């Protein structure tokens, strides 16, 4: 077993630097926290469970423009607010014929 001994001054300096980096990260992400909290995102499984539909039906809703989606890498996300509109019946599931 190997034991490493650090001088207390080096340890305090390291602690200060880590704290500074933590403060910088908090400062940089502050403007985005409100946006993140304002928009709740659901993945496919969560959206299907709330709407009580299959993944294929959810894909059909996306293709027809009934439900918007955002894709990050290979994962698809849906806004909770849009899913709630469909659940409340405020969004038509079929396009109206003229």
52 lies in the same domain as 27: no
Domain contains 96? no
Query: Has residue 93 got a pLDDT over 80?
Result: no
Q: Looking at residue 2, what is its pLDDT? A: 87
Domain contains 73? yes
66 lies in the same domain as 80: yes
Its domain, for residue 56, covers 40-88
Domain contains 97? no
Q: Looking at residue 97, what is its pLDDT? A: 53
Q: Looking at residue 3, what is its pLDDT? A: 85
Query: Has residue 66 got a pLDDT over 70?
Result: yes
User: Can you spell out the DSSP letters for 8-76?
Assistant: HHHHHHHHHHHHHHHHHHHHHHHHHHHHHHH--EEEHHHHHHHHT--HHHHHHHHHHTSS--EEETTEE
Q: Looking at residue 48, what is its pLDDT? A: 95
Query: Has residue 43 got a pLDDT over 90?
Result: yes
12 lies in the same domain as 30: yes
Number of domains in the chain: 2
Backbone angles phi, psi at 46, to 5 degrees: -65, -40
48 lies in the same domain as 10: no
């Amino acid at each position: 077993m190997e034991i490493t001994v650090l001088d207390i001054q080096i340890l305090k300096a390291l602690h200060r630097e880590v704290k500074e980096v933590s403060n910088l990260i908090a400062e940089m992400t502050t403007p985005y926290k409100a946006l993140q909290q304002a928009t709740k995102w659901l993945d496919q499984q969560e959206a299907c469970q709330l709407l009580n539909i299959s993944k294929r039906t959810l894909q059909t809703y996306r293709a027809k423009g009934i439900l918007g989606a955002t894709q990050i890498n290979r994962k698809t996300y849906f806004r909770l607010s849009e899913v709630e509109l469909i659940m409340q019946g405020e969004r038509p599931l079929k396009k109206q014929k003229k």
